[in-house]
Amino acid sequence: MAMLMRDPDSWEEPLEFKPERFLASSILSEQVLKYIPFGSGLRGCPGANLANILIGTAVGTMVQWFDWRIKGDKVNLEEAAGGMNLTMAHPLKCNPVARNINFLASN
């Protein structure tokens, strides 16, 4: 069984170091989609569980301690074209506003 990144059926000269294979100019090629460094299974990211816990804690803390304001009346959800992932055409910018935390002083 061939290793994922050394499969001669998927790559020309699989044992050669050729980082140009992954340049943005070839991002839409089928070849690029065969490389997913932290896919799943044994090759999954070893820190995924820790990251999920820390992200949840960070977001929860920010929601608890801040009110969030946006510029304008509503969020523009238009998507940018192209690429392997969806991005917003107009990034969401939120400003944190500290909440009044006088309830802590009363304890």
Handedness of CA 73, 74, 78, 80 (dihedral sign): positive
Helix, strand or coil for residue 49? helix
Gap between the Cα atoms of 94 and 69, Å rounded:
6
Is 45 flagged in the annotation as binding?
yes
Q: What is the Cα–Cα distance from 78 to 75, expressed in whole angstroms? A: 9
Q: What Cα–Cα distance (Å) separates residue 63 from each residue in 59, 66, 96, 103?
A: 6, 6, 9, 17
Mark the binding-site residues for heme, compressed into ranges: 45
Please state the residue numbers annotated as binding site: 45
